[in-house]
Amino acid sequence: MREMLTGGELDVLTGDYLAELTMLILGRDRLKDPAAGFARTFLRQLEECLGLAHERGVRIVTNAGGLNPAGLAHAVRQLAERLSIPVRVAHVEGDDLTAAHPGSLAAHAYLGGFGIAACLREGADVVVTGRVTDAALVTGPAAARFGWQPGEYDRLAGAVVAGHVLECGTQATGGNYAFFGERAADVRRPGFPLAEVHEDGSCVITKHPGTGGFVDIGTVTAQLLYETGGARYAGPDVTARLDTVRLTQDGPDRVRIDGVRGEAPPPTLKVGLNRLGGFRNEVAFVLTGLDIEAKVALVREQMTDALAKSPPAEVRWDLVRTDKPDAASEETASAVLRLVVRDPDEAVVGRPLSGAAIELALASYPGFHVLAPPGKGAPYGVFDAAYVPQGDVEHVAVFDDGRRISVPPAADSLVLEDLPEPEAPEPLSASRVRRAPLGLVAGARSGDKGGNANVGVWVRSDAAWRWLVHTLTVERFRELLPETADLTVVRHVLPNLRALNFVVEGILGAGVAAQHRFDPQAKALGEWLRSRHLDIPEDLL
């Protein structure tokens, strides 16, 4: 926060504190203390920086209110009073639908940006929200600044795209970037991105001068593809058409985004449902040297027998073959066998598992040891998405003086449908090919949406695009990533970005908090894809 306030010009500082997993964590906090439920790290940062923001005339908009935006707004007022800084604090509420969803720890609708805009128009210096869309932190300030009204879909869509690029901070400035090694820029500490938003909805993505990292068409493309699906990117205020986005390098560390078209939003709002799914425990057995398969069979049989008296509801075994023959170190001679158990009853996954695993220490395969002793089991969460009519959610802006106004739902709506796949360009003809990793040609960025994962893949030349769009079909994708072979995979084509976006349904089970998979948020799924080998035209290498 200090870096953004001191590094250069800024009108509005936004902060995105909420992810699906964060909402679960805040829900558990609220169980212990009804006054909790917001991101306390925001308050700690604000204590250092509120005076700076006030001196520089920078307004602050954040969703750090989480499950308790009124509570955070009150805490900010107390902080400002203690520091003798005159600020007006407003908040947005109405997203909390937990009472309407029995059994949920937290159920919150994703609100749009017009509640934020109303607070800013009334002179708020700090606006606190609960669960709004990530992009609403940008669409709200833009609507307030330029006087945009509901229905100005192209302008709103442009701001949504800007907000989506900014939402994950340094992922737009060289962080987590596929081609990080190709640039001379220092990516050890990337600067945070900012958007220069214009009245027509276009923007320039850049960063403060002198900060690390870099901004180019590749970094912006990567973030545009992150955690998205098809060409229609839906939100409460507008559906942005990602297939209309134009990116242009506008100078060093400057990428212009324009041409974005918008459509009416869907008639429903997404609701994130977080609930406790039960308890989980795990143990990782280390298997070294010869006879790995036989060692696996022995310990599986022993553990199955030990758990037979009270078998857990779910038992999952995963063997990770990191071992190499004739290895030069013990670690590279070893494989890891993970056992994960889940059950509604904490007692079933606690002592029975940990006792059995430790009691086998002198009575199982040669070289028996575990990475860490299993504990007593821990609760895990489950994320689901539901949808409610926009008119069923009371979106309210609460001003500093206590006045409350209702923010009406979108007047028009459009049922969301996937667009037909656009016509592909002519295939690239190549006389010579070489077996090589896909990542020598293509970048990728992957992430999670509930139990689904997306993998966005893009290339940087028209010739590479002519090859990629015909080569990386759903069938080839499944071949390269065998873990997806039995799952539904949907491919979306975005020619303007020279990109394909694959949505893999169900690969993450019940979401990140359930830790269904080795990589529970699919953060590295794209890098796995880039490491796979296929025949690539030599002219592209």
- Domains of the chain and CATH, by start: 1-147+391-408 (no CATH), 154-266 (no CATH), 277-376 (3.30.70.360), 433-540 (no CATH)
SS3 label, residue 488: coil
Helices (H), 153-246: 153-166, 217-225
Q: Which residues are within 8 A (CB) of 4 and not within 5 positions of it... i.e. 6 or more apart?
A: 10, 13, 192, 194, 208
The answer to whether 92 and 132 have CB atoms below 8 angstroms apart is yes
Structure tokens at 36: 């909790």
Place of tokens 């073959």: 321
How confident is the model at residue 382, as a pLDDT? 87
- Of 442, 432, 503, whose CA–CA distance to 471 is shortest? 442
Look up residue 252 and give its DSSP letter.
T
* pLDDT, one tens digit for every residue, the chain (541 residues): 999 999 999 999 999 999 888 888 898 888 899 999 999 999 999 999 999 999 999 999 999 999 999 999 999 999 999 999 999 999 999 999 999 999 899 999 999 999 999 999 999 999 999 999 999 999 999 999 999 999 999 999 999 999 999 999 999 999 999 999 888 788 999 999 999 999 999 999 999 999 999 999 999 999 999 999 999 999 999 999 999 999 999 999 999 999 999 999 999 999 999 988 899 999 999 999 999 999 999 999 999 999 999 999 999 999 999 999 999 999 999 999 999 999 999 999 998 999 999 899 999 999 999 998 888 888 888 888 999 999 999 999 999 999 999 999 998 999 999 889 999 999 998 889 999 999 999 999 999 988 899 999 999 999 999 999 999 999 999 999 999 999 999 999 999 999 999 999 999 887 766 677 788 899 999 999 999 999 999 999 9
Q: Which tokens in the block code for residue 182? A: 């190709």
> Residue 331 and residue 289: Cα distance in Å, rounded?
10
- Which residue shows structure tokens 């022995």? 298
Instruction: Give the separation between CA 158 and CA 121, rounded to whole angstroms.
Output: 21
Q: Rounded to an integer, what distance in angstroms lies between the CA atom of residue 64 and that of residue 57?
A: 21
Question: Do the strands 246-249 and 255-258 form a parallel or antiparallel pair, or are they unpaired?
Answer: antiparallel
Which among 387, 475, 414, 417 has a CA at the least distance from the CA of 231?
Answer: 417
Residue-level pLDDT at 367: 96
Please give the pLDDT value at position 475: 97
Helix axes 114-121, 136-146, angle to 10 degrees: 40
Residue 450's pLDDT is 84
Task: Return the closest-CA partner of residue 444 out of 529, 540, 533.
Answer: 529
What pLDDT is stored for residue 512 in this prediction? 66
Q: What is d(CA 515, CA 353) in angstroms, rounded to the nearest whole number?
A: 18
Q: Are 205 and 172 in contact (CB under 8 A)?
A: yes
Please count the other Cβ atoms lying within 10 Å of the Cβ belonging to residue 418. 11
CB 483 within 8 A of CB 495: no
Residue 513 pLDDT: 66
Could you report how far apart the first and last alpha carbons of the chain are, in Å? 41
Q: Which helix (H) or strand (E) is 13 found in, with range?
A: strand 12-15
Dihedrals phi, psi of 4, to nearest 5 degrees: -70, -35
Phi, psi for 209 (deg, rounded to 5): -60, 140
Q: What is the DSSP secondary-structure string of 105-125?
A: SEEEE-B-SHHHHHHHHTT-S
Question: Within a 13 Å sphere around the CA of 221, how many CA atoms are in the beta-carbon half?
Answer: 26
